[in-house]
Amino acid sequence: MATDGANQYDAIVIGGGHNGLVTAAYLGKAGLRTVVLERRDTLGGAAATSELAPGVRVPTLAHTVGRLRPSVARDLDLKRHGLSLVGPDVRAFAPGLDGTSVVLWGDAARTAEGLRSRAANDAERYAAFDRLVRSLAGFLGEIAAETPPDIESPGLTDALAGLRLGRTFRGLGRNDGRTITRVLPMAIADFVAESFDDEALRAAIAWRAFQYTAMGP
């Protein structure tokens, strides 16, 4: 137990970024007397807000909540505290030096329509690519939500988790299952290169692929 003289704490969280604040909140909910130490005069870290111009407030660094787990928002009752999520229609805008641009919409059909004037073949392929990526994301999301098994002493919980993942994998179907096992070890550059011809489109998709994933390119 740490103490500063008058006060005693069960836990000290160094840094008042979004991860530190979530950690401190869970510790507090568990009944531990917790203190958060932050050297800046504002909290939030990468999720903080800055004033770009008078009256214009923008994210300082993170422009998206990324992989915010619904369970965290639910456990900490973030909606009651003012959390309101906005899903943008445009997921990425990539301007080119020649004045053209690539726009990736949340709607795959709209993205494909916008690609027709610059890469007709890519426009035809985009819907199938989008469907495959969504299948990949769903499968990887389920893996990420599971606690890694205890290799030294696996138990019933580990076995049940394995069965759930196996069921999800079978649900992908033979074609998507085979494609996923081939694609997962690939560099994203190779994946987009075999999927599309347009270099700007490849770059826009590749950038989104490794942003915030903490994975290699």
One pLDDT digit (tens) per residue for the chain, 217 residues: 555 556 799 999 999 999 999 999 999 999 999 999 999 988 888 888 888 899 998 888 877 776 788 899 999 999 999 988 888 899 889 999 989 999 999 999 999 999 999 999 999 999 999 988 888 777 777 777 777 877 888 888 888 888 888 888 888 788 878 888 888 788 888 889 999 999 999 999 988 877 756 565 5
Every domain of the chain and the residues it spans: 2-75, 90-210
- φ, ψ for residue 37, nearest 5 deg: -110, 125
Rounded Cα distance between 24 and 12, Å, is 8
Asked if residue 147 lies in contact with residue 161, where contact means CB atoms within 8 angstroms, the answer is yes
Written as one string, the DSSP assignment of 4-66 is -SS-EESEEEE--BHHHHHHHHHHHHTT--EEEE-SSSS-BGGG-EEEEETTEEEESS-SS--
C-alpha torsion 22→26→28→32, nearest 10: -130
C-beta neighbour count of 66 within 10 angstroms: 12
Asked if residue 139 lies in contact with residue 168, where contact means CB atoms within 8 angstroms, the answer is yes
Which tokens sit at 83?
Answer: 């959390």
> What pLDDT is stored for residue 16 in this prediction?
94
What distance lies between CA 168 and its chain's CA centroid? Answer: 20
